[in-house]
């Protein structure tokens, strides 16, 4: 837990550099648009440098300090500014590292399928990571809101990448949910917070003075909750399954890491650094939030049983897993908050592994339907093995990272005296095990006779006519590495735990 008294504020150019590097990468990507190897090398270079820049900030944060950089003053006493703390560095580390791996994966995936608009694809990815850094390192609500809106606009071309009628419809829904929720709810909540508290700045433990109007603050809090549609709390979850029409690398990074984690991150910031755990408890906001998160977890788990498309299953799984993070922090006990915060990383590595595996199967077999994957493990052992690790981590079985999350969440419900939520976690764990077992049975124990004779989608090139086999190095290496990291974080979770404890007021 953050002691607070010894924190030092350090002026640093590093948080701005973490945003600037991918933007420079965009310029290089477009300059090299006629040379795919150079273009993708620029993307890899930008991702690598950004991750290294983020790494350089870790020692200062672990020492209990914060890094600051002012982009420009906006109004007197109001600025667009960056501040790096434990919660922000956690999101930034996960997003920047997985951007690097997704670039590697995308090279293999996009080339294997002969995808069009690859330059736009890699450029939008880079801008997305710049916006994600802006949100992770926001020093105040105004800065966070600006980058939150930028993230919505820059990810729209990725969601609609295929250009089909279905993709365009998904894109419209994507904008409707995110722009609608942020303009109608989040923007007013940001300015109401300023009117009541006199500041946009985040403060550990909250910004509101004692005696601030309880009823008004309750309204403001739920406006924030509704405004963060990227967190996919029900009933504002409908955009996420539809957005799975995007290419697998988009689903992998944006809908397992950047976009959805940003939505949860905003909610965690509001709970920890706008309202604060003490005020959340006084107004019973934590308990109500936990009920909303629990409802989302259980309903999403039941929905996953009804879907045959593997990306659809992963979409509903993601909806539930995001609410684990919200549930953990909203229970307000130290252990539950720790579990909720570390799940930002634990879920990201487990879920991106599963998306990478789904894409690997699609490249080899041109199907995303579980019913058409009978016995595919015998033909694609690396992909099947990594899928098993990712699924086991999402369920929460040792020695994977997901087990560490579940352990702290279970202990946290007891510590908070909220046994009902203990059973929510137990039931949801059993449900997720059941729907992943359905996939396991098909890919490990099923036979080709159980699958449809024709693939669910036509191939984009003649490669699909050959035998199904393991993909190229650029596809297999990222999914195998992410699976290995999921195990590593389960065995050695101390780094994540330390960051989570520093983030708790």
pLDDT at 5 over 50: no
Q: What is the mean pLDDT of residues 305-317?
A: 87
The vertex-285 CA angle with 283 and 286, nearest 5°, equals 120
Q: What is the mean pLDDT of residues 334-358?
A: 94
Average pLDDT, the chain: 88
The rounded percent of the chain whose pLDDT value lies above 90 is 60
Q: Does the CA dihedral 318-320-322-324 come out positive or negative?
A: negative
250 pLDDT tier (thresholds 50, 70, 90): confident
Which pLDDT value is given to residue 377?
87
| Strands of the 66-75 sheet, one edge to the other | 9-11, 66-75, 78-84
Which tops the pLDDT comparison, 451 or 405?
405
Do residues 394 and 353 touch, judged by C-beta distance below 8 A? no
Q: Does the CA dihedral 227-233-239-240 come out positive or negative?
A: positive
Which pLDDT value is given to residue 449?
56
**Exposure pattern of 410-419 as b/e (b: 16+ CB <10 Å)?**
bbbbebbebe
2 pLDDT tier (thresholds 50, 70, 90): very low
Which tops the pLDDT comparison, 418 or 164?
418
Which pLDDT value is given to residue 354?
93
Which pLDDT value is given to residue 357?
93
pLDDT, tens only, 171-212: 889 899 999 999 999 999 999 999 998 889 999 888 887 666
Which pLDDT value is given to residue 210?
66
CA end-to-end span of the chain, whole Å?
Answer: 7
338 pLDDT tier (thresholds 50, 70, 90): very high
pLDDT, tens only, 82-120: 999 999 999 999 999 999 999 999 898 888 877 778 888
Highest mean pLDDT (candidates 9-18, 234-243, 370-379)? 9-18
Angle, nearest 10°, between helix axes 473-491 and 334-365?
160
pLDDT at 36 over 90: no
Which tops the pLDDT comparison, 430 or 114?
430
DSSP 378-446: GT-HHHHHHHHHHHHHHHT-TTSHHHHHHHHHHHHHHHTT-HHHHHHHHHHHHHHHHHHHHHHIIIII-
Q: What is the mean pLDDT of residues 207-227?
A: 86
Do residues 294 and 327 touch, judged by C-beta distance below 8 A? yes
Q: Determine which of 304-308, 328-332, 352-356 has the lowest per-residue pLDDT on average.
A: 304-308
Q: What is the mean pLDDT of residues 151-173?
A: 87
pLDDT at 291 over 90: yes
What phi-psi label fits residue 66: left (phi over 0), alpha (psi between -120 and 50 degrees) or beta?
Answer: beta
Which pLDDT value is given to residue 340?
95
* Rounded-to-integer distance, Cα 463 and Cα 366, Å: 10
Q: What is the mean pLDDT of residues 348-361?
A: 93
Q: Does the CA dihedral 458-252-115-382 come out positive or negative?
A: negative
The rounded percent of the chain whose pLDDT value lies above 70 is 94
């Amino acid at each position: 837990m953050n002691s607070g008294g010894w924190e030092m504020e350090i002026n640093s150019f590093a948080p701005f550099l973490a945003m600037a590097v991918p933007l420079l990468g965009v310029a290089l990507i477009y300059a090299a648009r006629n040379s795919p190897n150079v273009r993708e090398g620029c993307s890899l270079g930008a991702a690598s440098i950004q991750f290294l820049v983020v790494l350089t900030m870790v020692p200062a944060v672990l020492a209990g300090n914060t890094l600051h950089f002012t982009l420009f003053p906006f109004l007197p006493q109001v600025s667009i500014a960056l501040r790096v703390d434990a919660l922000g560095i956690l999101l930034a580390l996960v997003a920047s590292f997985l951007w690097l791996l997704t670039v590697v994966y995308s090279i293999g995936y996009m080339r294997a399928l002969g995808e069009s608009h690859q330059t736009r694809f890699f450029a939008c990815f880079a801008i997305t990571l710049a916006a994600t850094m802006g949100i992770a390192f926001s020093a105040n609500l105004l800065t966070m809101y600006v980058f939150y809106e930028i993230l919505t606009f820059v990810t729209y071309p990725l969601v609609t990448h295929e250009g089909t009628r279905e993709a365009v419809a998904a894109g419209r829904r994507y904008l409707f949910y995110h722009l609608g929720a942020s303009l109608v709810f989040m923007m007013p909540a940001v300015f109401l917070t300023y009117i009541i508290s006199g500041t946009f700045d985040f403060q550990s433990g909250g910004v509101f003075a004692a005696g601030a109007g309880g009823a008004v603050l309750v309204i403001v809090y739920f406006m924030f909750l509704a405004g963060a549609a990227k967190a996919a709390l029900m009933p504002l979850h409908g955009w996420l399954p539809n957005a799975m029409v995007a290419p697998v690398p988009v689903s992998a990074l944006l809908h397992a890491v950047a976009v959805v984690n940003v939505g949860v991150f905003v909610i965690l910031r509001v709970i920890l650094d706008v309202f604060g755990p003490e005020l959340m408890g006084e107004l019973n906001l934590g308990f109500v939030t936990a009920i909303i998160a629990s409802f989302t977890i259980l309903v999403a788990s039941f929905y996953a049983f009804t879907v045959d498309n593997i990306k659809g299953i992963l979409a509903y799984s993601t909806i539930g897993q995001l609410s684990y993070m919200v549930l953990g922090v909203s229970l307000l006990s130290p252990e539950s908050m720790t579990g909720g915060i570390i799940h930002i990383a634990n879920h990201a590595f487990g879920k991106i592994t599963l998306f990478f595996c789904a894409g690997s199967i699609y490249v080899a077999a041109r199907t995303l339907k579980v019913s058409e994957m009978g016995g595919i493990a015998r033909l694609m052992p690396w992909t099947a093995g990594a899928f098993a690790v990712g699924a086991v981590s999402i369920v929460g079985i040792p020695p994977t990272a997901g087990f560490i999350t579940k352990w702290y969440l279970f202990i946290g419900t007891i510590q908070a005296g909220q046994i009902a939520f203990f059973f929510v976690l137990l039931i949801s764990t059993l449900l997720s095990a059941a729907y992943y077992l359905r996939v396991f049975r098909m890919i490990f124990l099923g036979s080709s006779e159980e699958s449809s004779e024709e693939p669910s989608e036509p191939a984009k090139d003649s490669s699909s006519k050959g035998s199904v086999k393991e993909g190229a190095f650029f596809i297999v290496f990222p999914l195998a590495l992410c699976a290995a990291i999921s195990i590593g974080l389960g065995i050695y979770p101390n780094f994540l735990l330390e960051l989570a404890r520093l983030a708790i007021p």
